A and B are shown apart, each in its own frame.
Chain A
Amino acid sequence: MAKVQFTTQALAKNLSLTPKAIEEIQNMGIPAELTPEGLEVEALANRPDLYSLQGFVRAVQLYLGKRKPVDYPVLKPEKIHRIIIKPEVAEVRPFTVGAIIRDLTITSDILETLIDIQEKLHKTIGRKRKKCAIGMYPAEKIAFPLTFTAKKPKDITFTPLGATKTFTAEEILTTHPTGKEYAHLLEKAQKYPLFIDATGAILSMPPIINSADTGQITIATKQLFIECSGNHLPTLHNVLALLTTLCAELGGTIHGITIEREKETSITPQLTYTKKPFSLEHANALLGTNITEKELPKLCEKMGHRYEKGQIATPPWRIDIMHEVDLIEDIAIAYGYEKLIPTLPSFATTGNESDKRKQERKITDLLIGLELQEITTYHAITEEEKNKYHLKALVMEGAKTEYKYLRPNLLIPALRVYHENKDVSYPQNFFEIGTVFDEQGTECTHLLITASPGTITHMQQVVAYLTEQLQFPLVLKSHPTPLSIPGRSALIIHNKKEIGYAGEIHPSTLKNAGLKMPLSILELDITEFLNQKA
């Protein structure tokens, strides 16, 4: 997902931002909001064609019926416009595709558009250049044909963009800002990928950086050479289709490039419409609609497709169509979600809560009867809590907050709650039923009951009450437990199995936790009880 801003000024030539138009844009499933500067649009991950103004306008005008789907002809490549892929590059970045754009007057606005779309595509479907890196070059400065190969880092020297002297490949990765940012992508590579022109000059070292000599487009650029390289060929085709159709929308003509890989040759970009079989019957059955075949061509065109008897042809810039259902959704959007009638089917099913929930509710009802307040706490504890109470807990890797471990018990979160409320009126008697985790990630459901002020006698009474009411025998066995006063703490036994503990918390623990009132607790694994048939 990407947030895209379009200024009113830029939109004015193509779209007037009337309330009706905004509503239609939202009906397309494009979250759009008017801002003082213009329009802010959220392009969802499946629609990178909306990242540019021209792509957005194309989609909206089609939806509004103000234009028809067009073809993007690819002119036959000139003989020298070839990229030869060498086997050396197979291990590090095996694929590339490319195109030449002519007749495009690169104004500063267009230059900005091209740089912006490149950045957005890198970030999103390019997976931060890992899957696809884009290079744009002034074609007139390049001697075709090109070679896409790989060389040992020590054999690579050129002047990267943003520098005035030559760097070795290693220097680029360790000292150049862009180099440092993307160095991890070449971490394990023995050889680094390179585009080299017919004179032997290095054009770029993808996915890192272009050469300063031949790798920077400016408003003086007459012809554009675009290449995409990466490890996932379908993505490269998609990205090139998005870029070249954008250039065509800007006024350019698209010229092919021959890609030679071992004995195979192919021409890119491939901008034909892709046909997929489409069954109106399926569509109506899945959507619950009665769309007629007569309506179909118009509905298809609203989304950029063309309908041809039993088939839908998808334009090259709609890279999200994988299956007939994607087309069915497009038909639904074109038809208008607002016209779909929410319906409940007539078959009957019986509802049922889980036994776990029913069993939990038995406990909850009893404890509320004992005037306990339910609390509900985070499933995580902080590093500080883990260390303070010497706990073993499972780490949540890379956690962005202070809560870094999964809670191994409910007592620690409860102490946090007591601290939070230490100046609120007492008694403060709590309970919580919740999931706890051990270091192996095993999950159990615990029940915690606390009384402040409270004594171990209080907990004995609660244990006796629960035993009687739940028909779940619980016996206290005097035993020292951590944090409690010796002689006033016990293990809780169910059918000879230790399932919990009870105790009067030691004053030193309370003082250390910043608490001022006596506290007694019991904590119990109730997983077995919850597993009983409710």
Chain B
Amino acid sequence: MKNALIATLSTHERTLISHLNKPYTELTEATGLEEATLVKTLLSLETKGLLILKTTKKTLIDTGVNGIRYARTGLPERKLLSILKPHHPLPLLEAQKVAGLSENEYNVSLGILKSKGMISLDQGAIVLTASPAECMKKTLEEQLIEKLPLVKETLTPELVPACIALHKRKDIIELKEHTERSYTLTPLGKELAGTTIESNVLEEVTPELIRNWQGAKQFRAYDLSLPVAPLTGGKRHFVNEAIEKAVRIWTDMGFTEMTGTMIDNEFWVFDALYTPQDHPGREMQDTFFLPLTRPLPETKLIKRVQQAHEQGIVGSTGWQYTWSPKKAQQAVLRTHTTSLSARTVATLKTDNLPAKYFAIGKVFRNETVDWSHGFEFYQTEGIVIDEKATFCHLLGYLTEFYTKMGFEKIKFVPSFFPYTEPSVEIQVWHPSKKIWLELGGAGIFRPEVSAALIGKPIPILAWGQGFDRIIMDAYKITDLRDMYRNNLKQIRTIPRGGLHG
């Protein structure tokens, strides 16, 4: 134990131990260490259980630059007092000249004497009110200056206000923090104190040391139980880490990524998805509108979409209203990534089927912000375009994805969206909260959507779930706002791969 301890001692510590039978005040000289190094070394020996360091902080009062001068010439108020005579009021302007005081000194002196009740001012003249005996007596300030240097903590109570008053004035006194140290040895310290330990131990391995290595030298052992400064490495933001994981799952499942702009027109965000133009979701209350328009696609497609809305296509009754191409041009921030799916489907040729696509992207809703809502969030989107696709396949793809994301129990319940039928809502079991989490919607694109986009009512399995809730859950974040706050302490320390491995 003792030997193991000795092995960890640094050169300074070894030197210091040989002098530990001396009082603190002699240590600097005895060891040749600078005070700062000495204190550090003592602290280190304290943690190693050799001694207890006692530190007392004191405030030393000493004379300042002006204080030294006034000690010689007297304080300004004394000068002023000395030229005043009883029953001879002295005009203010004259008094300053006679006393030979600077403007500042004069004003201070007037204030002090007035506050002590030794003078009063009457019609622009100074009247001495103090008795000659009072004038003779030294003021508390003068008494204090005479006694300097003093330790503030030892001042008699009547001198404390004088000290405060003088400290307020320019450079008359100085207050200095002064630390007094001493130490007492522990039994282990007593055992080692004064002993000479081989102090020529090696610290760092340097190129020079390697070059000159001759063997048989001792390295100091490091105490590995001591805390070290933390590292902060370069790291992906956990939100993007989670997205990368989801991207990998979709590509593993044979899906191709779709990309596109966040600004799009209402045509692709709503109309192509059979959402009627008076749908409440298309109002400013829910959607961010931009003071822009974006051109519509080719005429055939517009006509099919218009017909789907106005009188219905492929056996549908349609929404039965007059569809406005002008409204369809209005630019918005996409409210879902399904606009990317619509654009992708519109470019497909039926002989390229089956095809599978995914996207993970930001979507925007005009919401106020709180712990569970934001005005932008991620959505994970997918479509499967396949003549033989079934609703059970849709459930199959979603089960596969969410199982790979780490959810063990998945449930499907009926739901409603304007552009899918049948529609379904995905719920996953949260084992620790013991609740079903609602993740979002999916379904088969309505024939009014698919027939308008590719000219034929081919089944298109489609889904678009909010992704932020999953990220929050995986990284144990309780406030959605933390995902975009970039609190460094959080993003530096949040464990990598929090998304279920």
Contact = CB atoms under 8 A, between A and B. Distances in A.
B235 A341 contact: no
Interface stretch (B19-27, B162-170, B419-427): B419-427
Given A234-B320, A379-B362, A44 B416 contact: yes
Interface in A127-148: 127, 130-131
B386 to A, nearest CB: 7
Interface in A366-421: 367-380, 394-401, 403, 406, 417, 420-421
A158 B6 CA distance: 104
A397 B290 contact: yes
Contacts of A337: 412-414, 424
Interface stretch (B130-138, B152-160, B189-197, B248-256): B248-256
**Which among A27, A46, A356 has the greatest number of chain B C-beta atoms within 10 A?**
A46
A347 B397 CA distance: 13
A342 B422 contact: no
Contact of A396 (B290, B399, B400): B290
Interface string A343-375: 111011111111011000000100111111111
Given A351-B251, A421-B487, A441-B292, A345 B393 contact: yes
Contacts of B291: 394-395, 397
B422 A329 contact: yes
A393 to B, nearest CB: 11
Contact of B247 (A347, A353, A437): A353
Contacts of A286: 390-391, 422, 444, 459
A340 B263 contact: no
A322 interface: yes
A425 interface: yes
A394 B446 CA distance: 35
Interface stretch (B38-46, B59-67, B106-114, B367-375): B367-375
B331 interface: yes
Contacts of B448: 322-323
Nearest to B285: A398
Given A397-B284, A398-B284, A400-B368, A377 B484 contact: yes
A322 B486 contact: no
A349 B262 contact: no
Contacts of A371: 232-234
A342 B366 CA distance: 35
Interface in A276-306: 277, 285-289
Interface residues of B, number: 92
B478 interface: no
Nearest to A364: B236
A29 interface: yes
From B318, B368, B375, B488, residue with most partner A Cβ within 10 Å = B488
B405 interface: no
A45 interface: yes
B486 A343 contact: no
B431 interface: no
A351 B288 contact: no
B466 interface: no
A399 B256 contact: no
B147 interface: no
B325 to A, nearest CB: 19
B421 to A, nearest CB: 4
A275 to B, nearest CB: 13
B447 A323 contact: yes
A333 interface: yes
A12 to B, nearest CB: 26
B430 interface: no
Contact of B278 (A45, A131, A352, A425): A131
B491 A373 contact: yes
A443 B333 CA distance: 12
A460 interface: no
Contacts of B149: none
Contacts of A373: 232, 234-235, 237, 488, 491-492
Given A323-B448, A351-B356, 15 more contacts: A27-B414, A44-B415, A131-B278, A286-B391, A332-B391, A343-B390, A349-B354, A371-B233, A372-B234, A379-B376, A395-B290, A397-B284, A429-B234, A437-B263, A441-B331
